[in-house]
Structure 1
């Protein structure tokens, strides 16, 4: 499975993946998922939000155990973030069948659409729509860098966007969702464990900072006469780093657009996107307040106008303790319990169904990069751990 999936959407120059929602690479990943489901005799369906489901047992019976992840990527992302959870889900089902177990609850494997938000700027679109955390109107307003709206992109890919929105009937069938994911950090590498269990997801969000100045000639405009928003943006980037260090949080300006984007032109607009995360809400609020304070102070000095827009926010997610404790018991009570600053579909769905996560060791801790990695032995350990969990939940 890994060999078949690996070439899809891979850029030959960077070695990273560009599997953006509702593109050709995304379609190829979806075809791969459907083929894997059909090869195992599973009932395949795509819901009205474009999420894929592969069912063993009656999908309408209720109290189902669901596992899976996503197949899309960030720009030049790694091979493991998302796909490891989907491949491991199919492999865990194969393992359970080889054990000859008898399923007493329905089992489903999922691929949630547009988890990374690389194309439309909002993470976990598929699961947000399903859980009712993103309205139809909000989804219809999402556009990519080329001005193509989310419904247009879905139509272009052969999907009908007319009925996107909450899927309460489907979620009512789910008794538990367990997502396996490569660790995005080095906690397991430091403890020497191949597999860990998630405790919580830090509160996190994305904010867009629009710095508006005045376009002018780079060679003839005196420094004192300039209203250069790039200066304000640069100071804001540094302020974010300082604020995060002081609060024990993280803050990143990882995306920027410039207008008119000419080498010999002072910009009229610099737009930067801030991603910030912290272990608790108070620390996150402190970081954002300090970054905005510093940005506005510098903007006033530079004669620049500033607008700050919150594009997404997810509060702290504490995974259900009862499910987490049961999973820990099924794994022998020895797996480390880890918090994480990365968002996941499991975190979004926790608002509607009991959810949990397993992490597989990442020896470098690198993620969202072509250097992202996990050893084959650790991936196998993850599959076996997931199989043990699914057996304990769905086969008792």
Structure 2
């Protein structure tokens, strides 16, 4: 908690509450500098890869390493623990292991992945997806933020060379096993009255943009019968998303952002972008297919059109069962939980044995200021991570 307190004032959002920390903005740069300073204080060798992920090595870098870490960016108005808890716990775990006199017998690193939340450029886990080649580098370089800046331009402003971004086989070879600690984003541990769990799986999930196009016009001078208002089918999509998710076993569908153009109170919009997040154990894409058909019907009824673009998608992830069970053995049979949230560990799982630890969140709330972890559970999380890393690296 003292390590988290070091960054408690960085990226606070006075309008939304909580924190807004997005890749390469002032807050995220400060967090990067803080991490580098913390790593160097511990004698770790720090390197930033071609995709702007930061690696801090205990000893010399090498292949088949034990790697832990998480991310430092946030959603708009996010909580204090989503991401940073995994980074600070990794640093604390190193302190614990050194206090025990432990010396790793395998290469060992802490990694901070870039743009995990997709809060600036819209694609979650961008740093790990570039590393593994799960997103085309040209597509990533062309991503734009709300101000029209491309990811490539942002990399240049940060001091990185976008031409070097993309799949990094040398970096992947260095990951023998990856373990990410994260605040639980739900109440599974609250219900089980346990402080620590091990991840079993991650729901398949993706993001889609529905662009409804109509006719911009005057809010007062245009009769109702003369309107082609894209806000109406947009609103109907929001309601349809809830109904479709309710009818799908384990499904979740959320509209978290609606962007009208031009956005004036006394203006009928000419276009409305609706951003959909859909998740399900088996049929996330099928849910979106249903919603796409409904969106087309609603748009036609209002004399509008709709274009649909898939911004990202990841199928259901099942973590390495051997590594999962080995970790559960170290942690006295910690429960295994499914995650409804995406993580960098889920991206790496397609390439390397990966696992996750969850730390109890008494509120069950995440991606909001009310996200919380008790001091005692923070300590238990760091101790559990240290025990796991000692087992894997020793």
TM surpasses 0.5: yes
Counterparts of 1:307 and 1:260, CA distance in 2: 18
Give deviations 1:202-246, integer Å, cap 9, x for gaps.
Answer: 100001000000011111211111101100000110000000011
DSSP 3-state at the match of 2:212: strand
For 1:303-345, what per-residue CA distance to the aligned partner results, in whole angstroms no more than 9, with x for missing partners? 1101111110001111011110110111122x11100110000
Q: Is the 8 A contact 2:184 2:358 kept in 1?
A: yes
Distance in 1, matches of 2:248 and 2:269, equals 32
Provide the residue aligned with 1:275 in structure 2.
277
Which residue does 1:63 correspond to in 2? Answer: 64
Cα drift, residue 141 of structure 1:
1.1
Structure 2 residue runs without a partner (length 5+): none
What is the rounded CA distance, in whole Å, between the counterparts of 1:287 and 1:15 in structure 2? Answer: 32
2:55 alignment counterpart = 53
Alpha-carbon distance between aligned partners in 1 of 2:285 and 2:69, rounded to the nearest angstrom = 32
- 2:155 corresponds to 1:154: yes
| Superimposed CA distance per residue, residues 240-275 of structure 1 (whole angstroms, 9 cap, x where no aligned partner) | 000001113110010111111111111110001000
Q: Distance in 2 between matches of 1:154 and 1:169?
A: 21
CA contact (8 A) 1:57 1:105 kept: no
* Separation (CA, whole Å) in 2 of partners of 1:286 and 1:127: 26
Does residue 173 (structure 1) correspond to residue 169 (structure 2)? The answer is: no
Secondary structure at the counterpart of residue 98 of structure 2: helix
Q: Distance in 2 between matches of 1:302 and 1:12?
A: 39
1:273-312 to structure 2, matched below 5 A, reads 273-280=275-282, 282=283, 284-312=284-312
CA distance in 1, matches of 2:104, 2:301: 67
The answer on whether the counterparts of 2:16 and 2:76 sit within 8 Å (CA) in structure 1 is no
Q: Secondary structure at the match of 2:164?
A: coil
Partner of 1:112: 113
Which residue of the partner structure matches residue 351 of structure 1?
350
Aligned residues of 2:70 and 2:83 also touching (Cα < 8 A)? yes
1:1-396 equivalence runs, <5 A: 1-60=3-62, 62-248=63-249, 249-280=251-282, 282=283, 284-333=284-333, 335-395=334-394
How many residues are paired up?
Answer: 391
Aligned-residue offset at 1:13 = 4.0
Check the 8 A contact 1:203/1:314 in 2, yes or no: yes
Specify the SS of the correspondent of 1:162. helix
TM-score where L is the length of structure 1 = 0.97
- Return the alpha-carbon distance in structure 2 between the equivalents of residues 122 and 23 of structure 1: 16
Query: Which whole-Å CA distance do the structure 2 matches of 1:275 and 1:26 have between them?
Result: 24
Distance 1:182 1:97 in 2: 24
Following the alignment from structure 1 to structure 2, what is the Cα–Cα distance between the partners of residues 102 and 133? 34
CA contact (8 A) 2:199 2:357 kept: yes
- Distance in 2 (CA, whole Å) between partners of 1:137 and 1:102 is 41
Give the whole-Å Cα distance in 2 for the aligned partners of 1:115 and 1:339: 19
Contact 1:65/1:393 (8 A) holds in 2: yes
The structure-2 alpha-carbon separation of the partners of 1:285 and 1:134, relative to structure 1 and needing over 3 Å to count, comes to closer
Distance 2:247 2:136 in 1: 36
CA contact (8 A) 1:49 1:126 kept: yes
Aligned residue for 1:105, secondary structure, equals coil
TM-score by length of 2: 0.98
Q: Distance in 1 between matches of 2:211 and 2:114?
A: 29
The alpha carbon displacement at 1:6 in A equals 1.2
Shift of 1:57: 2.1
CA contact (8 A) 1:23 1:157 kept: no
In 2, Cα distance between the equivalents of 1:14 and 1:27? 20
* Displacement after TM superposition at 1:14 (Å): 3.6
Query: How far apart are the structure 2 equivalents of 1:22 and 1:328?
Result: 37
Give the unaligned 5+ runs of structure 1. none
Question: For residues 90-135 of structure 1, what are the alpha-carbon distances to aligned partners after superposition, in whole Å with 9 as ceiling and x for unaligned?
Answer: 0011001111123111110010001010101101111001011122
Cα distance in 1 for partners of 2:102, 2:46 equals 22
1:351 Cα deviation from its structure 2 partner: 1.4
